[in-house]
Amino acid sequence: MPKKFDEFKLNRQILNAVEEAGFTEATPIQEKAIAPVLSGQDLFGIAQTGTGKTAAYVLPMLMKLKFAQGENPRALILVPTRELALQIEEQVKLFSKYTDLRTIVIFGGLGPKTQKEQIAKGVDILVATPGRFLDLYLAGDINTRSLQFLVLDEADKMMDMGFIGSIHRILEVVPRKRQNLLFSATMSDLVHKIAGDFLKNPLTVEVATQATPAKTVTQLMYAVPNFKTKINLLQYLLKNVEEFKKLIIFCKTKTVADNINSFIARRLGEDAVRVIHANKGQNTRINSINSFKEGNIRVLVATDVASRGIDVSEVSHVINFDVPIIIEDYVHRIGRTGRAFNEGTAITFYNEAERYYIDKIEKLIRQQIPEMQLPSEVFVEETPYEEKQFIAREIDTQKRKENPDFKGAFHEKKKQYPSANKKVTKGNYKSKPKSRR
């Protein structure tokens, strides 16, 4: 039987907030992590996204900090993206509503003036992206001498995004005597390295085999030969309004995300869809996520920059329009559905070149993704010449990665132009083929 929250040594203010938020039973990561964190242990938590790990460290942290004290932060939570930072700030404020603890979130993409002013008024818990934290620390706006807790959340994503140097710089400027908590959904050499540098005799808590998607997510995939056929399949699925009630579509690039957004807006109306990616302003991204949360829009289109910052209940489907190249991102994408004991479905479209990444994903998650036949109603388009060439080049590159001696259709050839001292005559000069555009 799952533990009830009142079985942990949490005070009445925190338990009231938890109850009001609608939480009664602890998830497995919460069961395993709350007591050790309360006892002061360093902790290494391995848990897939959507398992409630934020509450697993926030609740005992609030219990230990108890009340507002001093001007400087006593807890620092480092996260890779602004969306995740905002999500965690929201959770901290939710659980600390009956305390006077002060929480501030800081991230790049906005001018630092307002954030500096907030910090100057006093803060207990600081949620930050590494770059903005270092900027404000080096400018003299953050004092770390009172720090008691340091949390690295989504450590694997931070490593993927190249934050390891920033993390090491931060470790140099925080007090040595502190409690450290590290959470990651997947394991990599870099996560191992940062864990070794960061944690002292940690307790490792694992609630599932690393990189295993939540059991509440049903996974499916379709072999789809080209972009236009992917669009046709998407259109077919979106017609099923009863089943596809609230969905997130993940794309590899900003251009594809914008194209999908425009396509859905034309079919379903502009009020049905929003798109978020790195080129969208911060306020636009926040407003889009809030509209999706509140149920004002049916479809959210996103790139991987947002895959870990979207905490929305009752997402019925995640559609991977493109297969992610960073294979660990697959777990994070599909973790946007099937959250907090709800059921969800993740559907992946893949072309011939993307099959390479599907194979790697299946090895990572240690399971095969069931493949579905394309519905007969979906028209299969002919693959345009340029897309064919692109797919062929991708497959060559993949084969070369696996076998450096592989010589594919696109390996370097001698140029077909005559030498400088050879006379050009009809028959010994091969012109460039004309573009088929």
Model pLDDT for residues 165-211, shown as the tens digit of each residue: 899 899 999 998 999 999 987 777 788 888 888 888 889 888 755 55
pLDDT at 435: 46
Q: Alpha-carbon distance 233 to 246, whole Å?
A: 17
Q: Is the pLDDT of residue 329 over 70?
A: yes
Mean pLDDT in residue range 10-29: 86
Other CB atoms closer than 10 Å to residue 14's CB: what's the count?
Answer: 22
**Residue 201 confidence (pLDDT):** 85
- pLDDT of residue 423 exceeding 70: no
Per-residue pLDDT tens digits for 39-80: 999 999 887 666 778 899 999 999 999 999 999 999 999 999
What is the per-residue pLDDT for 131?
A: 93
List Cα–Cα distances, 388 to 226, 230, 356, 393, 437, in angstroms.
8, 15, 16, 9, 13
Calculate the CA 271 to chain-centre distance.
25
**Domains assigned to the chain:** 5-206 (3.40.50.300), 217-372 (3.40.50.300)
Q: Say what the pLDDT of residue 306 is.
A: 56
For residue 91, how far is the Cα from the chain centroid? Answer: 17
Buried-exposed string 208-220: b where 16+ CB fall within 10 A, e elsewhere:
bebbbbbebbbbe
Q: pLDDT-based confidence at 313, cuts 50/70/90?
A: confident
**CA end-to-end span of the chain:** 63
3-state secondary structure of 118: helix
